[in-house]
Chain A
Amino acid sequence: MTRIEIRRMVIACDAAADLRRAVSEAALLAAEWRAELVGLYVEDENLYRLAELDIVRHVGFSAATFELSAAEMLKSMLPGYAGTMRAALETAALQHGLVWSFDTRRTVPSVEIFRELECDMLILDAESRPFSGDWRPRSAWPAIALAAARTVLLKRRRAGGRGTVIVAPRGKADYERLLATAFALAGARDEIVILSADPEIRELADRIAADRDRGYRLETMPATIDAMLARIDEIDPALLVLSADDETNTLRTLAEGTRCDLLLVR
């Protein structure tokens, strides 16, 4: 029986991140797996630099006005965001009875942050907070998620949808870990599972599904990446599970072509 041990989960964000959904999801999963939850707040070095540059001007939220004193205000506000995240994490941890901790690092957000970090799963939010309406400046975290050498759950905005779609392309050796992790997460989220793979994976999938006491539906993987995107769009899942070790370069395409939550298994 394949057991996926998720003992330590790390949720990371910066001042731009929309952390509420990620914290909520991380707490639920940590409670399900009885894992320790670690909050990591990244004080974005870029913003400190920006505050030091006197040529920088800010545009406010509700009106296009220049705020000449914003740099100083910015410097004073950044540490405060760490407190916000810590409070959200503490509330969620208390609600679910979790073991938790919190850390702050001042650096430029990059994959390097996680290189030395001990964790079984990273949870990141793909979106920055919206700016005056629904427009959100690009966030650094999706790129970091793709590059990180960890299993990552990337929370993204989702208009709706239900179910977990696992994409298991031919030629991958580590199907077992991919499926075990995907079924575990689907179980925790109480989602139905649709496996998109070659039929020969059925035996393995049956065993893992039986271990997890969950059913699944096997669909033959579409032949092209476009067809696969079309099928995923049709299913409209809540979670897409991909192997981060994919050598066919479908990872980035599938990640960027969909809008649901993304689990990258490594």
Chain B
Amino acid sequence: MMPREEEWPEDRCIMADNGSLKDIRSADDGAADSGWIAGEPLPPSIMRRPAQFGDLDFMTTDDLTPLPSLIGQERAVEAVEFGIAMRRPGFNVFAFGPAGSGKQSLVQQLLERRAKSEPTPPDWCYVNNFEDARRPRRLMLPTGRAIPLREAVKRLIAELRIALPAAFEREEYRARREVVEQQFKKRQEEAFGALERKAEGKGIGLLRTPVGLALAPVQNGEVVRPDAFNKLPAEDRQRIQAEIAGLQTELEAVVRQLPGWERELREAIRKLNRDTTAVVVNDLLTELGRPFSDLKDVANYLDAVRRDLLEHAEDFITGDRPETPPGLPTGVAQAMTAESESTLFRRYQVNVIVDNSGITGAPIVWEDRPSHQNLIGRLEHMARFGALVTDFNLIVAGALHKANGGYLVLDARRLLMANFGWDALKQALRAAEIRIVSLEQMLSLASTVSLEPEAIPLQVKVVLIGPPLLYYLLADADPDFKELFKVAAEFDDRIDRSPEATALYARLIAGTAKREHMRPFDRNAIARVVEEAARLGGDGDKLTTHIAEIGDLMQEADHRAGEAGRGVVGRADIESAVEARRRRADRIYRRYQEEILRQTIRIETDGARVGQINGLSVFSLGGMNFGNPTRITAQVRFGRGELIDIEREVALGGPIHSKGVLILSGFLGGRFGRNGPLSLTASLVFEQSYGMVEGDSASAAELLSLLSALSETPIRQCYAITGSVDQLGRIQAIGGVNEKIEGYFDVCVARGLTGDEGVVIPATNVRHLMLRADVVEAARAGKFRVVPIETIDQGIEILTGVPAGIPNISGEYPEGSVNRRVAARLVMLARQALPHRAPRGLRPRQRTERHHDED
């Protein structure tokens, strides 16, 4: 019978490999301090460490000061704080760590704290470049001044749309223009009229032809017929011809003056238009510019607007605008006219792309879709009569514009997956400016005329958040990465589980409950959450930093408490949530267990077998881990020193598993083959395993089954064992110890616990134990045991009930010990081998390589 918890011996020694006694109190694993002994069943209190809050006195989360974010990430916090404070190029931050470890919330918290005290950056606009419309100008204004400027310009445009046409409709303008035009006409009329009259006096007419003017002899208003003209006396014809020639010379002189007169007219009208426009524009612009008189750039821009308005004064005269092409339907013609008017004034608008008026401190921008366009901005287009057109009003800011002067936080994975987002970000950071270039231009896919907005200086701190793998890949593969992201902030997935940390964890739970508007959690519920945090961390001495997962658990427990009509979340609610989460994901696990119970999968939990042992494996499903027993068998026979790993032979064994099997060869050779070759062939297999086997956590089980087979000593099937072994026979830690124990426990419980069942684990895994309450309870009742071991010999003794045997000074093992039997069997096999070629030693068989014909 197993000792009860209170009966556990205080002071025990164990036997070392060399046969000496080892004081466990001085063992470096701290086992003695914790009250357990290697090779003996663990006291139940060791199997699951309850939460301890130190001096923290509270009843529910309402009594705790909420902690808003992560604890125990001092190194990451220090790195992020340094990165965001460091104002040098390239000191951007890559925060990486496991998903759900609270990176985002911590980064947000640190950024908010810092950004609050920093100055709010200026506003940014794009305005028309009146000298080159293809290159819109940037305009920087102090924070909150851009919108007032835009609105002021809007009002100006609204005023101009009325005032300018009205000014040109005014009687005064029309009269002045009439005067100018009449002067020109009068000059023309005088010149042409005089010539026309002079020609008429001589019987010559001035006619309009499709190609110009012509002088011809006329009679009664009609051109003289050619035959009639030819019948005239020769002197008359010569006279008329001479008259025409003379008049043509005069006409030529008049016509030569026309371009000059027209230029003068145009200039005079332009001046008149300019003067008329100036009367309207100067007053309006002076009034508009008054609130911005302290801003030189705005003053310059308004001056440019003034010059352009005067330059294009004619455009505002409705009657002088070019008419729409003939033949268009009335609706289209009207739309074109309205569009033309709208376009006329669009050039003066102010496109505010960044308005920081609503921000206190520096901006923090989180861009969820960090594509090329969403980062550096884009040029939009609008359809105008079948064509896509753009102008500076259609420039749209990207996340870099919005974060300029502050912080930009991006998900690294999304950034790398987004179209050209990574390239765009690097380019902007390298050049320290945001230059809007469309993807089509960048990839030379389009050669149409587009805009080249003036680049905006960039001063931003970028924080990338992602998994460690991405950080290491980028650091390895992208030479720019280390230049641009010099600060690595690595988040740990676990923190130490000290009473102080546990107390902080309780406050973190209180913070989560408060932030998510959950019911209060009582002390026992918090303790259970902390225990689950340790369980999720896979270590009784640690707590997980997967805050998101803990938050999910709390949400579910809160929901269950609500369903049950409780105002406070209790331990039972947490238990219920944990169980429900497990139940939702354990279909495959249950099916496997069911098949074991139905003996479709053969796992024996009683009796004893030679060369057969229960190993333990763990598998992951939907983010949850489950453990299962696996039957491992070994067969030995006379041979040439080959150790056949059947999993490896059929390519179902991974490299780490193969390594574990090779280590067995080393162990056997080292312990039993020092004085002669090993003349055996042994085979090992995971029975009824049809998938990949990876990891070395079954190597101790494999070695024990091999030793059992060699020594023909039966192994007690009520035990399962997990652990890896080194060449010296020392047992080493493995992963998933809790799940493995529970997996075997579930099988045993289903078959009915007899009190003999148990699991043998590496002693170095004891600190990782956070077993389910029912497992601990069974142990407490003496119905199940967990036995830590440090050496393979301890395992031999526990699983066979036979002493392993310590060699004497001659290297001989005691009679009846397992090791003695193994040595004897090997000697026997060696004798059988004498007539044959001497083997070189036990070695794994070379696997046959299969070469596929690539053709």
Residues of chain A touching chain B, judged by Cβ–Cβ distance below 8 Å, are 15-16, 20, 45-47, 49-50, 52-53, 55-67, 70, 73-74, 77-78, 81, 88, 91-92, 94-95, 108, 128-129, 131-140, 159-160
Q: Is B216 an interface residue (CB 8 A)?
A: yes
Chain A: which residue is nearest B326 at the CB level? A91
Residues of A within 8 A of B214 (CB): 50, 56-59, 70
- Please give the distance in Å from A25's CB to the nearest CB on chain B: 13
Q: Main SS of the interface on chain B? A: helix
Q: Is B262 an interface residue (CB 8 A)?
A: yes
A53→B217 contact, CB < 8 A: yes
Q: Is B284 an interface residue (CB 8 A)?
A: no
Set A52, A66, A159: member contacting B226, Cβ < 8 A: A52
Residues of B within 8 A of A137 (CB): 192, 196, 206-208, 213
- Contacts A49-B224, A63-B256; is A58 near B174 (CB within 8 Å)? no
* Interface pairs (28), CB distance under 8 Å: A15-B210, A16-B208, A47-B207, A49-B223, A50-B214, A50-B223, A53-B217, A53-B224, A53-B229, A57-B245, A57-B248, A58-B213, A58-B214, A65-B252, A66-B248, A66-B252, A77-B210, A91-B327, A95-B329, A95-B330, A132-B255, A133-B188, A133-B265, A134-B184, A135-B185, A137-B206, A137-B213, A140-B221
In the complex, per-residue mask of B179-222: 1 if CB is within 8 Å of any chain A CB, else 0: 00100110011001000100000000011111111111100011
A81→B210 contact, CB < 8 A: yes
- Please give the distance in Å from A240's CB to the nearest CB on chain B: 19
In the complex, per-residue mask of B246-265: 1 if CB is within 8 Å of any chain A CB, else 0: 00100111111011011001
Set A46, A70, A138, A160: member contacting B174, Cβ < 8 A: A160
Q: How far is A160 from B330 in the complex, measured between Cα atoms in Å?
A: 22
Q: How far is A64 from B265 in the complex, measured between Cα atoms in Å?
A: 20
Q: How far is A184 from B253 in the complex, measured between Cα atoms in Å?
A: 49
Q: How far is A118 from B801 in the complex, measured between Cα atoms in Å?
A: 133
Q: How far is A129 from B212 in the complex, measured between Cα atoms in Å?
A: 10
- Please give the distance in Å from B206's CB to the nearest CB on chain A: 6
- Please give the distance in Å from A77's CB to the nearest CB on chain B: 5
Q: How far is A74 from B208 in the complex, measured between Cα atoms in Å?
A: 11
- Please give the distance in Å from A173's CB to the nearest CB on chain B: 33
Task: Kindly list 14 other residue pairs between chains A and B, CB separation below 8 angstroms, not including A56-B244, A59-B251, A62-B259.
Answer: A20-B326, A46-B216, A46-B223, A47-B209, A57-B245, A58-B212, A59-B214, A64-B256, A70-B209, A73-B211, A94-B327, A131-B212, A137-B213, A140-B221
Q: How far is A132 from B196 in the complex, measured between Cα atoms in Å?
A: 16
Q: How far is A81 from B329 in the complex, measured between Cα atoms in Å?
A: 25
Q: How far is A182 from B506 in the complex, measured between Cα atoms in Å?
A: 96
A60→B211 contact, CB < 8 A: yes
A159→B255 contact, CB < 8 A: no
Q: How far is A2 from B411 in the complex, measured between Cα atoms in Å?
A: 83
Residues of B within 8 A of A88 (CB): 326
A55→B255 contact, CB < 8 A: no
B215→A159 contact, CB < 8 A: no
- Please give the distance in Å from A85's CB to the nearest CB on chain B: 13
Residues of A within 8 A of B225 (CB): 49
Residues of B within 8 A of A95 (CB): 327, 329-330
Q: Is B237 an interface residue (CB 8 A)?
A: yes
Q: How far is A62 from B330 in the complex, measured between Cα atoms in Å?
A: 35
- Please give the distance in Å from A237's CB to the nearest CB on chain B: 15
Q: How far is A24 from B189 in the complex, measured between Cα atoms in Å?
A: 28
- Contacts A49-B224, A138-B196, A159-B178; is A78 near B210 (CB within 8 Å)? yes
Set B189, B241, B258, B319: member contacting A132, Cβ < 8 A: B258
B211→A135 contact, CB < 8 A: no
A133→B222 contact, CB < 8 A: no
B244→A55 contact, CB < 8 A: yes
A46→B181 contact, CB < 8 A: no
Set A55, A58, A94: member contacting B209, Cβ < 8 A: A58
Chain B: which residue is nearest A77 at the CB level? B210
- Contacts A108-B222, A129-B208, A137-B207; is A56 near B216 (CB within 8 Å)? yes
- Please give the distance in Å from A264's CB to the nearest CB on chain B: 21
A64→B185 contact, CB < 8 A: no
9 smallest beta-carbon distances between A and B, as pairs: A64-B252, A64-B255, A52-B226, A16-B208, A135-B188, A46-B223, A137-B208, A49-B223, A91-B327
- Please give the distance in Å from A68's CB to the nearest CB on chain B: 12
Chain B: which residue is nearest A88 at the CB level? B326
Residues of B within 8 A of A81 (CB): 210
Residues of B within 8 A of A131 (CB): 208, 212-213
- Contacts A49-B225, A58-B209, A58-B213; is A135 near B192 (CB within 8 Å)? yes
A134→B185 contact, CB < 8 A: yes
Q: How far is A256 from B237 in the complex, measured between Cα atoms in Å?
A: 36
Residues of B within 8 A of A135 (CB): 185, 188-189, 192, 258
- Please give the distance in Å from B255's CB to the nearest CB on chain A: 4
Q: How far is A59 from B255 in the complex, measured between Cα atoms in Å?
A: 8
Q: How far is A41 from B845 in the complex, measured between Cα atoms in Å?
A: 109
- Please give the distance in Å from A156's CB to the nearest CB on chain B: 15
Q: How far is A47 from B207 in the complex, measured between Cα atoms in Å?
A: 8
Residues of B within 8 A of A58 (CB): 209, 211-214
- Which residues 303-351 of B sit at the A interface, judged by CB distance below 8 A? 319, 326-327, 329-330
- Please give the distance in Å from A97's CB to the nearest CB on chain B: 12
Residues of B within 8 A of A77 (CB): 210-211
Q: How far is A128 from B327 in the complex, measured between Cα atoms in Å?
A: 23
Chain B: which residue is nearest A20 at the CB level? B326
B240→A50 contact, CB < 8 A: no
A74→B258 contact, CB < 8 A: no
Q: How far is A45 from B241 in the complex, measured between Cα atoms in Å?
A: 21
- Please give the distance in Å from B480's CB to the nearest CB on chain A: 62
Chain A: which residue is nearest B248 at the CB level? A57
